[in-house]
Chain A
Amino acid sequence: MNWQAVRTIFSHEMARFWRTPWESLASPVVSTVLYFVVFGAAIGTRIQSVEGVSYGAFIVPGLIMLTVLQQSITNASFGIFMPKFVGTMYEILAAPMSFIEVVMGYVGAAALKSVIIALVIYLTALFFVDLPMAHPVWALAFLILTAFSFSLFGFLMGIWAKDWQQLQFIPLMVITPLVFLGGAFYSASMLPPFWEGVAKFNPVLYLVSGFRWSFFGQADVPVAMSLVAVAIFLALGIGAVWAIFRTGWRLRN
């Protein structure tokens, strides 16, 4: 293993994160906190508690997941699209690195960024709402696994994308709807039965539900299902990366 190279890419990516703290950290945190304020404080006072949890607290895990999904995909896809776009990709391809090492550097950094953002949002949320934490280790596990899986997807998207439009297409057209319909703002049980059934096909629901369970000890779907869902995402991501590694798709023509 060329660990030095993994570390080099990893720190290069993290350096970009810290170089522009306003864009990379403050902006996702502030926009999420605005949700707390608007939905939690303003509207939440008029909504009864959801399954015994105050609405202001109820939406926090979902909002954190929402941000983690978006940030993981954006950061990872941007991280690998940038060298393709600027032309510095030649350096990565000519280096004595395996594709797995390249992935570890980029995806590791993107996942860590998301986790940092999530933690900052969590700490900020504590100022606004009473937030229990039933299973902290599980919460962290869900967080890290989700950040990692979706950073893998972001990475794949960055490799797939040929231009900026394509780079933004999937996050905008696929991920955002899935996330918003994934139960960040409501419990699936609040939906009419038909839509509750439809919602069960949304993979994001399982992530949000499992993460919420770590906080409140209750979930829309069994926690085991949520774990299986995360495992499937991870497996799909790793499988796709492996396929690219074998074929050099979109990288080595």
Chain B
Amino acid sequence: MRPIIEVSDLSKTYASGTAALSGVTLDIREGEILALLGPNGAGKTTFISILCGLVTPTGGTVRVGGNDIIRDYRAARSLIGLVPQEISIEMFETVIGTVRFSRGLYGKAPDDAHLEGVLKALSLHDKRDAKLMELSGGMKRRVLIAKALSHGPKVLFLDEPTAGVDVNLRREMWAVVRRLREEGVTIILTTHYLEEAEEMADRIGIIDKGRLMLVEETAKLMHEFGRKRLTVELAEPLTVLPATLAGEGVALLGDGRHVRYDYDTRADRSGIARLLAGFAGEGIAVRDIVTEQSSLEEVFLRLLEEKV
């Protein structure tokens, strides 16, 4: 099946000279949830803004549903809904008023039944006639989602939907996103949180300094993130590792004072208990134990090395 979004060699250099995106190529599959992960200033918002028509790219092409976003902008944009990073709404509008306005901009005939459905799904229905300034921050964020869904888009962009949102609301947002996905909506979201990407996404893309470092199935990526390293410092140096201790991922370091063990936190048994029991059984005195989780950077590097 043809990808719903085809991004080819996309670049953006702002007038200020900032190269916010460089040569991004990416296919997004219909119906998937793609999470874009990256530090501040990585270019996530720029990427989304170009796809939605807010920012003109300096190079490359984008097709949405087969429509070029510049030449066939009407067809392309009709398929898209956007929830921006900042909460920007007209405070004096009512909830239903602002959602109707959004739908109208997409050239769709008024359809309050659809809009009421959207509001219900976002638990906003009892606020339909409230002024936006009377809503809490979390409700305002949901209003932005309702606006983006008002015209029934096939692709939804969520730019940091859960930034500054409490745990309950975050779970609620995730539930909304899942429901949309069940309806077949393709979702692209950006986030700083690995756990969020893990929880939600089918695939994770990592952007850094305007480059798409990698795009990977979430499960595969999480496996890499799931790696931990245990280092045991010994009271007395060893020359060889006793056979009872040897196993996959266990190694005695060159100084003879440290034993290193790489393991996967996701495995049923980490093997730590077995290892420590082994030390006791051999009568080896342990001075200290340190565990480290592989950092985002390490995983980047490892995955990149694998690719090369």
Contact = CB atoms under 8 A, between A and B. Distances in A.
Nearest to A2: B107
A5 B106 contact: yes
Interface string B260-277: 000000000000000000
A88 B89 contact: yes
Interface in A1-51: 2-5, 7-9, 12, 19
A88 B80 contact: no
Interface of B: 14-15, 52-56, 73-78, 80, 82, 84, 86, 88-92, 101-102, 104-109, 147
A96 B88 contact: no
Contacts of B84: 87, 90
A93 B105 contact: no
A45 B147 CA distance: 59
A253 interface: yes
Given A86-B89, A252-B54, A96 B106 contact: yes
The CB with the most chain B CB atoms within 10 A, among A90, A93, A252, is that of: A90
A91 B147 contact: yes
A36 B107 CA distance: 45
Contacts of A5: 104-107
25 contacts: A4-B108, A5-B104, A8-B105, A9-B104, A9-B105, A12-B101, A82-B90, A86-B89, A87-B86, A90-B54, A91-B105, A93-B52, A93-B53, A93-B54, A94-B53, A94-B54, A94-B82, A95-B77, A95-B105, A96-B73, A96-B76, A96-B77, A248-B56, A253-B15, A253-B55
B104 A88 contact: no
Q: How large is the interface on A (under 10, 10 to 19, 20 to 34, 35 or more residues)?
A: 20 to 34
A53 interface: no
Contacts, number: 73
B239 to A, nearest CB: 65
Contacts of B53: 93-94, 252
A90 B84 CA distance: 8
Nearest to A82: B90
A253 to B, nearest CB: 6
A4 B107 contact: yes
A45 to B, nearest CB: 46
Nearest to B50: A252
A82 B88 CA distance: 11
B54 A86 contact: no
A139 interface: no
A97 interface: yes
Minimum-distance CB pairs A-B, first 4: A87-B88, A8-B104, A95-B105, A96-B74
Nearest to A102: B105
Nearest to B51: A94
A93 to B, nearest CB: 5
A92 interface: yes
Given A88-B89, A91-B147, A97 B55 contact: no
The residue among B54, B78, B84 with the most chain A CB atoms within 10 A of its own CB is: B54
Contact of A4 (B54, B82, B104): B104
B300 to A, nearest CB: 29
A94 B88 CA distance: 14
B93 to A, nearest CB: 9
A106 to B, nearest CB: 13
B10 to A, nearest CB: 15
A253 B14 contact: yes
Nearest to B56: A252
Interface in A232-253: 248, 252-253
Contacts of B73: 96
A96 B147 contact: no
Interface centre among B14, B84, B147 (most CB of A within 10 A): B84
Given A86-B88, A86-B90, A88-B88, A94 B52 contact: yes
Contacts of B77: 94-96
Interface in A71-127: 82-83, 86-88, 90-98
Contacts of A82: 90
Contacts of A95: 77, 105-106
Contacts of A87: 84, 86, 88
A4 B15 CA distance: 34
Contacts of B52: 90, 93-94
A51 B127 CA distance: 63
Nearest to B87: A87
A52 to B, nearest CB: 50
B58 to A, nearest CB: 11
Contacts of B89: 86, 88
Interface in A141-166: none
Nearest to A248: B56
Contact of A7 (B74, B104, B106): B104
Given A252-B56, A253-B14, A97 B88 contact: no
